[in-house]
Amino acid sequence: MEAFIYDTPTRVYFGKDQEQKVGEIIASYGAQKVLIHYGTQSAVRSGLIDRVKEKLEAQGIAYVLLGGVQANPEIQMVRKGIELCRAEGVDFILAVGGGSVLDSAKDIANGYANPEDDVWDYTLGTAKPKKTTPKGCILTIAAAGSEMSDSCVISDSGQRIKRGYGSPMNRMNFAIENPELTYSVNAYQTACGAVDIAMHTIERYFCPGRDTYLTDAIAEAIIKSAFKAGADCLAHPTDYTARANMMWASSLAHNGLTACGRSTQLVVHQLEHEVSAMYPKVAHGAGLAALWCSWARYVHKDNLLRFLQYAERVWNVEVDYDHPEQTALKAINKQEQYYKSIGMPTSLHELGVKAEDLEKLAFACSRSKKRTLMGVRPLTYEDILAIYRMAL
Q: Which residues pair with 66 in a beta bridge?
A: 37
| % the chain with pLDDT above 90 | 96
Q: For residue 119, what pLDDT is reported?
A: 98
Q: For residue 236, what pLDDT is reported?
A: 98
Q: Which residues pair with 102 in a beta bridge?
A: none
Four-CA torsion 131, 134, 137, 143, nearest 10 degrees: 10
* Measured distance CA(231)–CA(224) in Å, rounded: 11
C-alpha closest to that of 263 among 341, 306, 204, 326: 204
* Measured distance CA(362)–CA(192) in Å, rounded: 23
C-alpha closest to that of 71 among 43, 93, 39: 39
Q: For residue 193, what pLDDT is reported?
A: 97
Whole-angstrom Cα Rg for the chain: 20
Q: How far is CA 252 from the centre of its chain?
A: 11
Q: For residue 265, what pLDDT is reported?
A: 83
Query: Is the pLDDT at 239 greater than 90, yes or no?
Result: yes
Four-CA torsion 148, 150, 156, 160, nearest 10 degrees: -100
- More confident site: 27 or 265: 27
Residue 329's pLDDT band (cuts 50, 70, 90): very high
Domain boundaries, given as residue ranges, for the chain: 11-182, 187-391
- For residue 22, give the 3-state DSSP assignment: helix
For residue 151, the surrounding DSSP H or E stretch is: strand 151-156
Once rounded to an integer, what is the mean pLDDT over residues 371-382? 95
Predicted confidence (pLDDT) per residue in 172-208, tens digit: 999 999 999 999 999 999 999 999 999 999 999 999 9
* Measured distance CA(285)–CA(353) in Å, rounded: 15
CATH number at 11-182: 3.40.50.1970
Residue 264's pLDDT band (cuts 50, 70, 90): confident
Q: For residue 1, what pLDDT is reported?
A: 87
Q: Which amino acid is at 314?
A: V
Query: Is the pLDDT at 213 greater than 90, yes or no?
Result: yes
Q: For residue 94, what pLDDT is reported?
A: 98
Predicted confidence (pLDDT) per residue in 339-357, tens digit: 999 999 999 999 999 999 9
pTM, two decimal places: 0.95
Once rounded to an integer, what is the mean pLDDT over residues 7-28? 97
Q: For residue 99, what pLDDT is reported?
A: 96
Domain with residues 187-391, CATH architecture? Up-down Bundle (1.20)
C-alpha closest to that of 142 among 176, 102, 107, 190: 190
Residue 293's pLDDT band (cuts 50, 70, 90): very high
Predicted confidence (pLDDT) per residue in 35-83, tens digit: 999 998 888 999 999 999 999 999 999 999 999 999 899 999 999 999 9
Average per-residue pLDDT for the chain: 97
Once rounded to an integer, what is the mean pLDDT over residues 314-318? 97
Q: How far is CA 271 from the centre of its chain?
A: 14
Phi, psi at 222, each rounded to 5°:
-65, -45
DSSP 379: B
Four-CA torsion 218, 224, 227, 228, nearest 10 degrees: -120
Question: Measuring CA to CA, how many Å separate 8 from each of 12, 94, 173?
Answer: 10, 19, 10
- For residue 179, give the 3-state DSSP assignment: helix
Residue pair 162/274 in contact by the 8 Å Cβ criterion: yes
Once rounded to an integer, what is the mean pLDDT over residues 259-284? 94
